[in-house]
Structure 1
Amino acid sequence: MKNKEILYLVIPCYNEQEVLHETTSRLTEKLNNMINQEQISPDSKILYVNDGSKDNTWKIIEELNASNPLIQGLNLARNRGHQNALLAGLMTAKEHADMVISMDADLQDDINVVDEFVKKYYEGNDIVYGVRSARKKDTFFKKFTAQGFYKLMLMMGVDLVYNHADYRLMSKRSLENLESFKEVNLFLRGIVPQIGYQSTIVEYERNERFAGESKYPLKKMLAFATDGITSFSIKPIRMITTIGILIFLASICMALWSIIQHFRGVTTAGWTSLIVSIWAIGGLQILAVGIVGEYVGKVYLESKHRPRYIIEKYLK
């Protein structure tokens, strides 16, 4: 069994001033216990990534870095979103660590399973996914929308680990391969399974947020789902083609029916059916243009090859 390999905990932060001290206290205790038990190297660290926070998040990270030898800080030049901030932390940590665990700052991810993550890594797994065992603490609406999100993604052909967010362990070599994925519109939950190294899962029960507000309201979750689908699946475009074919076949049937009715001498007003048809076909056309536009827009953004993040400062 491997011993004393370097572990980094990468934690993206956006307006997390309410939780940082408590998060640091608990994670420091956890890492020190693992170091004392010789599960990980004394060179292991906690890396906070400040994603353009508008509160005192970065100031607190600086203070923690000055007072706690386990704490490192990465400050992005501007807000780039959770996925880009996470990637910035992962790519920075891979230069120093043998294994990296990503988690949220709000203490919802159960830090008690970090030992199990590391154990699975030593057993030969390059990627260990944290998977929620249940959603007992979620509201009905949260549970319904979250499960709907995963089912929709799977239906659209996106390769996801069910009930897994971004709580995972990745080995150094899996992170080196993650770096080769160059897309600007990041959806790490879909990218990581494509790496293909040996992987496993660890189940845990997600806690309630320690303090502050959720950074993923419904609006952001819908945008996140759209990014995931359009980044990994062309099924929506194929659905447009299928709907177009069905409407064309329906129009042929309607034309034949109209001809038959004409020769039978049957006349009807037809105003309602005409208006409904116009609205339905018009709506489908606008929807189709919008879906195609999502893909065209992504191609446009990817073609610019702009940096996914810019690091302003790294506190070691």
Structure 2
Amino acid sequence: MSENIGKPILWIVIPCYNEEEVLPVTAPLFLQRIKEMASSGMISDKSRILFVNDGSKDRTWELIEDLAKSDEHYIGISQSRNRGHQNAVLAGLMEAKDVCDITISIDCDGQDDITAMDKMVAAYLDGAEVVYGVRSSRDTDTFFKKFTAESFYKILNWMGAEVVYNHADYRLLSSRVLNEFADFHEVNIYLRGMVPLVGFRSATVYYERHERIAGSSHYPLTKMLHLAFDGITSLSIKPISIITGIGSIVSFIGFIGIIWAIVVALSGDGFPGWASTVCMILFLGGIQLISIGVIGTYIGKIYMESKHRPRYIISEKTWEPYERHYKG
């Protein structure tokens, strides 16, 4: 009887974009973690570390290929072009769902505490199908990043989106959850808000987030704002409701203004009001442009969804000839 029977096969899914500086440092750490978990009997020794190259412009894919040759636990796939962090994570999860029992997605930069994986797997063995890695504090963040991040989670929850506070993309998902998640066909992907929609029993593991081990962050303020706006508009239609409410208030104020103007005109106390006229025009024009912009964003998302384009395209794999041996 195989010694792996009853032990879950784990695939650690790691998106990579221009990580040639950090990959040689963190890859051995992931390998050590997975071997320690396997030797302790927590997971199967058929578990793997899946690097997803997201169209990197540096030597990231070459390094992944070299890693795959150096140890069987390392495997990799490369997207045909850069599709963004969320699509890269999704690509890895979908490639893994049929050949493993559980996945843990984590960034390549070494900021997330990899020792928390033990608690995640333990929670899975205890019955949880989804385990969220949640930061216990934001002491390493700047005041600006801490304020904007916490505000973002509060805004998302206020908008009606179901997200886990202080959770990013460090999570465990069972193959059962992944198979159900495969039926979500959105092109506009925001995994942090989509995973809770699948349901199933969940658990939370808290961990400390560290400084990036090497290299520089690939998430500047512009990308963070884009991700935040994408998350809000992908998970909630409340912005349209807010626009409707603002429009109603402005219309009511405008109606009162019209009555006031008529009363003033009939009383003969009228005077040239070019300043107030300009202010009203600019105010209403600004409201209209913002409203059209938000509504246009939703229409654009509908347009992209209607095309049914593939969310990722895999151009290369390091393990394709052997993938049938991973599970069984």
Task: Answer whether TM exceeds 0.5 for this pair.
Answer: yes
Question: What pairs up with 1:170-249 in 2 under 5 angstroms?
Answer: 170-249=173-252
- Identity of paired residues, percent? 51
2:89 and 2:311 map into 1 onto residues whose CA distance is 11
**1:184-207 alpha-carbon deviations (Å, 9 max, x no partner):** 111111110000100011011111
Aligned to 1:47: 50
Structure 1 position 210, deviation (Å) = 0.6
Match of 2:308 among 284, 302, 305: 305
> C-alpha distance in 2, partners of 1:35/1:245?
61
The DSSP-based 3-state class of the residue aligned with 1:75 is strand
Alignment of 1:119-138 (within 5 A): 119-138=122-141
Q: Determine which of 102, 105, 108 is the counterpart of 1:102.
A: 105
What runs of 5+ residues in structure 1 fail to find an aligned partner?
none
1:112-169 deviations in Å (ceiling 9; x for gaps): 1110000000010000000011000111111111112111211211110010000000
2:72 equivalent in structure 1: 69
User: Which amino acid letter does the alignment assign opposite residue 21 of structure 1?
Assistant: P
Cα distance, 1:27 vs. partner?
Answer: 1.1
Separation in 1, partners of 2:245, 2:142: 36
What amino acid is the match of 1:136? Answer: D
- Check if 1:280 corresponds to 2:275: no
Unaligned runs of 5+ in 2: 320-328
AA matched with 1:118 = V
Distance 1:28 1:225 in 2: 32
1:177 is paired with a residue of what secondary structure?
Answer: helix
Contact 1:128–1:202 (CA under 8 A) maintained in structure 2? yes
- CA shift digits 1:10-33 (9 cap, x unpaired): 000000011111111111111111
**Alpha-carbon distance in 2 for matches of 1:247, 1:32:** 63
Q: Give the structure-1-normalised TM-score.
A: 0.97
Secondary structure at the aligned position of 2:178 is classed as helix
SS of the residue corresponding to residue 8 of structure 1 reads strand
Check if 1:22 corresponds to 2:25. Answer: yes
Q: Distance in 1 between matches of 2:315 and 2:244?
A: 46
Matched, 1:163 2:181: no
Secondary structure of 1:72's match? strand
Give the residue type in structure 2 aligned to 1:5.
Answer: P
Distance 2:243 2:225 in 1: 20
Aligned partner (choices 266, 290, 293) of residue 290 of structure 1: 293
Computed over aligned residues only, the root mean square deviation of the Cα atoms, in angstroms, reads: 1.1
Which residue in 2 is equivalent to 1:260? 263
Match of 1:33 in 2: 36
> TM-score, structure 2 length as denominator?
0.94
Runs of 4+ with >4 A deviation: none
Q: CA deviation at 1:292?
A: 0.8
